[in-house]
A and B are shown apart, each in its own frame.
Chain A
Amino acid sequence: MGIAEERVVAVIMVGGPTKGTRFRPLSLNIPKPLFPLAGQPMVHHPISACKRIPNLAQIYLIGFYEERDFALYTSSISNELKVPVRYLKEDKPHGSAGGVYNFRDLIMEENTSHIFLLNCDVCCSFPLPEMLDAHKKYGGMGTILVVKVSAETAHEFGELVADPITNELLHYTEKPETFVSDRINCGVYIFTPDVFTAIQGVSSQRKDRANLRRVSSFEAMQPDTRSLPSDFVRLDQDILSPLAGKKQLYVYETKDFWEQIKTPGMSLKCSSLYLAQFRHTSPHLLAKGDGTSGASISGDVYIHPSAKVHPSAKVGPNVSISANARVGAGARLISCIILDGVEIKENAVVIHAIVGWKSSIGKWARVQASGDYNAKLGVTILGESVTVEDEVVVVNSIVLPHKTLNVNVQDEILL
């Protein structure tokens, strides 16, 4: 086989149902990776970015969700991309690096030359071919996508320092207490297969230490010093930190948008970022209209072909409307995600909100929030099958599934 015979495999870490708790109440109904942003499942955005990788052989999704949760999605996306996409369920938590290592035989099956590793809960432009080129130029074992953030927020992420000339990773620290750097780890990596050797190294060190410890039963009983299972290997603390400054890891800095999608509020922001990206990548997905034949559209809007929006309604900017939703005459939608089967009745207003599956918003009702994506109640969230009766106002609130609201609510979480 020649050098031209490169085979690239992409691995997307999707997490599990016990992980996305901050995404409630939306994650009560759907695995978080399948929650739609800009009308497409969250995981669809990194997957479609993978399309641009030359010689892409296979995409694996790794997580703790049940296989059936992803079966429908993986089969349809495999057909669409003409690249096999397969979901692999972890039997138990192995850590971010351990999880990939656990499936190393499958990943290497394709005679793989490079492995992309992507976290599902980040929102960015995924400049993967550019990363691949940079990685080959650096000649290391791995390259990390990094982004510059404000010094105030950097501590929430993995902070890192790189050589400004060579781009070599010099120092890496996860969520430090003091400021180290305003460059952070984006959760998007490319590795050569050598990474498996590194993970195995951490794993066998752990085993050795565990064997030593068995000597002292007292120490083994102390929870603080209890060692992690030998096959549990974290990417950040166990691989990136120790290998920093050893000419094995490099960084590629993106100047594009980057956000982490932890909360429902952030999903609304990320939806807007992906909608804006569609202007360049998928303009056909953006709705158009001036109120003559269809609804008036302002800014970036996605409307599923099966959704019905009355011509006298006004929609946008930053709105995505999912399948079978109905938007009545004179309704107004701004900065919101309208999920499947929702009904918005005449003259209702929805601003800075996520309206859950099959919910109903009454005539002249108003569902709104301040739009502060970082505030706990900055985006109003209605869970599945919530009914807001005619003329009722819901402001800065989170409503769990199957509630009926017949009086105004403000700044509340309704169980």
Chain B
Amino acid sequence: MKALILVGGFGTRLRPLTLSVPKPLVDFANKPMILHQIEALKAIGVDEVVLAINYQPEVMLNFLKEYEAKLGIKITCSQETEPLGTAGPLALARDKLLDGSGEPFFVLNSDVISEYPLKEMVEFHKSHGGEASIMVTKVDEPSKYGVVVTEEATGKVEKFVEKPKLFVGNKINAGIYLLSPSVLDRIELRPTSIEKEVFPKIAAEQKLFAMVLPGFWMDIGQPRDYITGLRLYLDSLKKKSSSKLATGPHIVGNVIVDETAKIGEGCLIGPDVAIGPGCIVESGVRLSRCTVMRGVRIKKHACISSSIIGWHSTVGQWARVENMTILGEDVHVCDEIYSNGGVVLPHKEIKSSIWKPEIVM
């Protein structure tokens, strides 16, 4: 089986992290976002992943070479020279996706994190016999999204309603599709939207079916959702394989700590914290609801909550970092500094407190 991952552009919503690496390589729960998807695909027997990308393909491929060997999966790139929307990239990658086997292929949106029940999706696709399957997820506020209206018993999609003002349903497109090769015949090589132009036609022919995604779903394309997404991910990890979570008297709630990270005495870590490889957390540190990326040093008595600490940054002694503070790569917060929602671009030294949420260029 094959899969296409829609990687897209600059990832501006996840800046300043995406100033250092393409968005799919931004770490989430101690591994690059895209690896969550590639590993899930590999697990159900996908042997080739095509990345639809229009920015820094070399960086992506260099990085993913390592994982090609490690996971035993072929990773190639399909580069857009102009943005092709959500359907155009499928036409561009047509030759890579068609192998004559007639098997359906996956299309995944790289911003989305979920439990990836791909095996169930393959079964669902076989059972309904239609041309395309899409995963839908229930949300509290459907008016913000494109709502998928389905026939309750079969899951057959009746229509798509973009940002409905009146309630028509609470299931939205989760950005995970399983498509039969014939779908490719419906897509022209031009900028086009799969949700607005391709799926409505298939639905009109009664060949589009939706499966409700069990478990959590989160678009982690921006910092606030990234932090919420980590909580949902760790909740799910606890249920599935709780041995991956850290334990000990200094841990509260769900926490993952890379085995190469070091944690000092008298710390209190959690809930909902990810500490990446090579991190040093000195004594007396408090961490909650935050991501600490590879190579970060948190000095003594610092306190961090609801924040993302980018690669190789340092947080000084008695510093306080909170309220959606996002530190880009190699940022140094000096001793005793307070950051309330500071968004800091890479390679900066923060010598005076950030009292109110602001961007530090």
Contacts and interface: CB of A to CB of B under 8 A. Distances in A.
- Chain A interface main SS type: loop
Interface string B251-282: 00000000000000010100000000000000
Interface stretch (B51-59, B125-133, B314-322): B314-322
B283 interface: yes
Contact of A332 (B286, B336, B353, B355): B336
Q: How large is the interface on A (under 10, 10 to 19, 20 to 34, 35 or more residues)?
A: 20 to 34
A366 B355 CA distance: 13
Contact of A393 (B284, B318, B320, B336): B320
- Chain B interface main SS type: loop
B338 interface: yes
Contacts of A370: 353, 355
Interface stretch (B110-118, B182-190, B299-307): B299-307
Q: How large is the interface on B (under 10, 10 to 19, 20 to 34, 35 or more residues)?
A: 20 to 34
Interface string A349-381: 101000000000001101010100000000000
A410 B340 contact: yes
Contact of B286 (A312, A329, A331, A391): A391
Contacts of B338: 366, 368, 393, 395
Given A349-B301, A364-B301, A393-B320, 8 more contacts: A314-B318, A331-B301, A346-B266, A347-B286, A349-B320, A363-B286, A368-B338, A368-B353
Interface in B316-361: 317-318, 320, 322-323, 336, 338, 340, 353, 355-356
Contact of B284 (A330, A391, A410): A330
B284 A395 contact: no
Nearest to B320: A366
B223 to A, nearest CB: 19
A347 B336 contact: no
A142 B353 CA distance: 49
A347 B322 contact: no
Interface of B: 266, 268, 283-284, 286, 288, 300-301, 303, 305, 317-318, 320, 322-323, 336, 338, 340, 353, 355-356
A370 B352 CA distance: 10
Nearest to B352: A370
Nearest 3 interchain pairs by C-beta: A330-B284, A332-B318, A364-B286
B355 A349 contact: no
A393 B266 contact: no
Nearest to B305: A391
A364 B355 contact: no
6 contacts: A347-B286, A347-B301, A370-B355, A393-B338, A410-B355, A410-B356
Nearest to B355: A395
A334 interface: yes
A75 to B, nearest CB: 42
Interface string A373-415: 0000000000000000001010110000000000010100000
Contacts of A368: 338, 353
Contacts of B284: 312, 329-330, 346-347
Contacts of B323: 408
A331 B355 CA distance: 21
B283 A366 contact: no
A54 to B, nearest CB: 47
